[in-house]
Structure 1
């Protein structure tokens, strides 16, 4: 008997189908491994792991763990909020609870508008920072919630409104940062499916968390027990979230990542770090960069004189020296590389041409040089009059 024909998927090691010598398909028996794979396929992007970046798996594992502990903590918080609204108190009215809810929701939505206006442009370049920050403010809201039942009327209102504001900030910060991370993970044009599967994962984790949390809140009642439990849950939540964020290997160059690369390139080793190597050195909350900023307002009179410096005539930027540091003005119509070149010159004190070995090495190391992740505020562009005349 001739051996069965085997058809394999391109770039895959998994057998799609086998045929006998009469060209009849041989249906393999279901095993626990194949059943488990079928279940995982419901929650993972099609073609996993080839259609996502390598850091997708560790991020999702830690993200699932942090969502599980957060769900349990939210149940303790929700019970405290209901107590704060007067549930179970014969002296409280439904109208007062509704009015308090309206005030809490209103302050939260106003905070969302203000936060999006002030920090919206910074979320994508600093998505790891804002993803972790979202859970810090959300956990802070939990503590305000469990504190509220023990407070007098007016402090209670302030505490519940403060919790609403923090929760709203978590929503806008975490949601926007998560969208940026999803765009990073999706490498096969599968962003929509990846987000859909991520929603499925969160649903299952939330259901498991509510199941365990229901038993948890049934046995935890005392004030001290609630506080201690919340501290433990929040500690686990923040640790797993921090590990999730640290596992992400962004390929775009923001201020911190480019500074890390420059410091390593100027060291005796002179190496160009890859995205995974830079991710190990990144700091999520505590990084303090050099005193270099990008202009977020139009030039002041004392700054205009710097634009006459001839060395910036054919460059896409102008660097203004100030007592507090250096300010970079980008010219209108300049490519993304201008922001990177300007940061390099401001940091090193020398101009590295865009076609130099340095930029080629960055691209070869896997860095994205086409996405502007340097500016975290309003994008201001200047027009050089002399250059326009000469053109």
Structure 2
């Protein structure tokens, strides 16, 4: 706002629009003179641009793009494309499923169709509970991998629905398998989406990002349903066309999912990212990789898909076991653990010992998240130094004393979050203390 003139004053008011102080644009200039009662309004920009900006605000977070991480936009583009292909294929698989349960057939009974649908839903519910029980604590630590697996399981579920009419005698069994597969998708996709939303939020705007992601998904659903209905109408009665369309869209869906997770540059430390960072730091004598560089080196497919991975030095984390149960150790392993406690880890909140080519970690019952990260990195150092002339315990302790704090500070300077290690829940812990042999244990 400004005032011009000496005898006659002129008041000028500028109107600005934008949810972020760094992304404002002037939309109008209002001028009022003290000598007359007239008010002049001069608008900036076209009405179409203003309307488009308002529509866009329903689909992107407030303050976009400065309010989200740089990998948000490419991820959402690929994620929307894969979602679009999913909704198109859903129409094809649903059409086959409804045909199989007898929709449109005079001989079909309502109670029969209802029972089949009930069995399908019940299997999915039970599958979701079981999947959460066995893998719920692992979803945060491998968000990329589980995001990819979730959509692959969804593909498998839709394939089961499409195949079900071909085997009438095994229809219920096949449909239940498909529902079971999709139940894994629901749990894994929802959990990983929560982790990714926290990653994207730069201004504590996770709720806004989640809401706008819902708008994007709704739009993709509407477009996908329309295209799916058109495709189902065109291909009805042509099995070959249905299968070619379904398989082509599935291949595109898998590709789009792979590109989506490859776009992500997560800044949290999980087992694999910690291994990549530490090995590069030790190899280069103090250089730390950025989240973008580590993202290009990450293995997003499940480890069991590659048999050689356990022998690859880049995947040291596969040879480190954290949270080992003490009572499950054999006599030789227990001896190694006790020797380790007496000789090297008297004051530490963790114990390391080697067994069968791996390094196992026993966490203290009073250990913190920082202790867990330190223990894991220490185990990686020990595994990497294994086979040297000196004792791996002494060598790894020496390295940790000299370089650990510097390594953590360099990680933090590049934006890495070093508060904790994302790993499976550590259920088993232990307590230890040194004392006379005849000391009474409470």
TM above 0.5, yes or no, is yes
Cα separation, 1, equivalents of 2:107 and 2:29 = 76
The answer to whether structure 1 residue 328 and structure 2 residue 361 are counterparts is: yes
Task: Report the CA distance between 1:220 and its aligned residue.
Answer: 1.1
State whether structure 2 residue 211 is matched by structure 1 residue 162: no
CA contact (8 A) 2:150 2:185 kept: yes
Structure 1 residues 350-359 or 255-264, which shifts more?
Answer: 350-359
Q: Is the 8 A contact 1:332 1:381 kept in 2?
A: yes
Q: TM-score, normalised by structure 1?
A: 0.91
Between the aligned partners of 2:100 and 2:174, the Cα distance in structure 1 is 10
Pick the structure with greater CA Rg.
2
Alignment match of 2:196 (pick from 181, 201, 212): 181
| Distance in 1, Cα, partners of 2:46 & 2:29 | 17
- The ranges of structure 1 where at least 4 consecutive aligned residues each deviate by more than 4 angstroms after the TM superposition are 1-11, 16-27
- Residue 49 of structure 1 deviates from its aligned partner by 1.3
Alignment deviations for residues 128-179 of structure 1 (CA, whole Å, 9 cap, x no partner)? 11111000000011111111001032x2111100001001111011111111
More off after superposition, 210-219 vs 301-310: 301-310
Equivalent residue, structure 2, for 1:248: 264
Q: Which runs of 5+ in 1 are unaligned?
A: none
Give CA-to-partner distance per residue, 1:1-53, whole Å, 9 cap, x none: 78967687875042356655649875434343333222111111111112111
Distance in 2 separating the partners of 1:232 and 1:36: 34
SS at match of 1:266: helix
CA offsets 1:180-236 (integer angstroms, 9 cap, x no match): 111111121211121111111100110011111111110113222211111111111
Structure 2 match to 1:80: 96
Question: Secondary structure of 1:109's match?
Answer: helix
Alignment TM-score, normalising by the size of structure 2: 0.81
Residue in structure 1 matching 2:207, options 177, 186, 192: 192
Q: How far does residue 371 in structure 1 lie from its aligned partner after superposition?
A: 3.1
What's 1:12 paired with?
22
Change (3 A) 1:334 1:128: same
How far, CA to CA, are the matches of 2:369 and 2:15 in structure 1? 45
User: Helix, strand or coil for the counterpart of 1:332?
Assistant: coil
SS at match of 1:312: coil
Give distance in 2, aligned partners of 1:380 and 1:177.
Answer: 25
Q: 1:319 to 1:37 in 2, by over 3 A?
A: same
Higher RCO (C-alpha 8 Å, min separation 6): 1
User: SS of the counterpart of 2:344?
Assistant: helix
Q: Out of 303, 310, 321, which is 1:293 matched to?
A: 321
Distance in 2 (CA, whole Å) between partners of 1:170 and 1:330 is: 33
CA contact (8 A) 1:119 1:377 kept: no
Q: Give unpaired runs (5+ residues) of structure 2.
A: 6-10, 34-38, 304-308, 310-314, 383-395
Following TM superposition, by how much is the alpha carbon of 1:336 offset from its aligned partner in structure 2, in angstroms?
Answer: 2.0
Considering only aligned residues, what root-mean-square deviation do their CA atoms show, in Å?
2.5
Contact 1:68 1:209 in 2 (8 A): yes
Q: What is the CA–CA distance in structure 1 between the aligned matches of 2:299 and 2:14, rounded to whole Å? A: 49
Aligned position for 2:117:
101
Give the SS at the match of 1:328.
strand
After TM superposition, list the pairs within 5 Å mapping 1:331-346 onto structure 2.
Answer: 331-346=364-379
Picking from 407, 424, 441, the partner of 1:376 is 424
1:202/1:225 CA distance change after superposition, 3 Å: same
Q: How many residues align?
A: 386
* Number of the residue aligned with 1:220: 235
Residue by residue over 1:310-367, the C-alpha shift from the partner in whole angstroms, topping out at 9 and shown as x without a partner, is 3112222111211152211221232322222222222222242486211110111110
Distance 1:355 1:282, change over 3 A: closer
Structure 2 counterpart of 1:34, from 43, 47, 50: 50
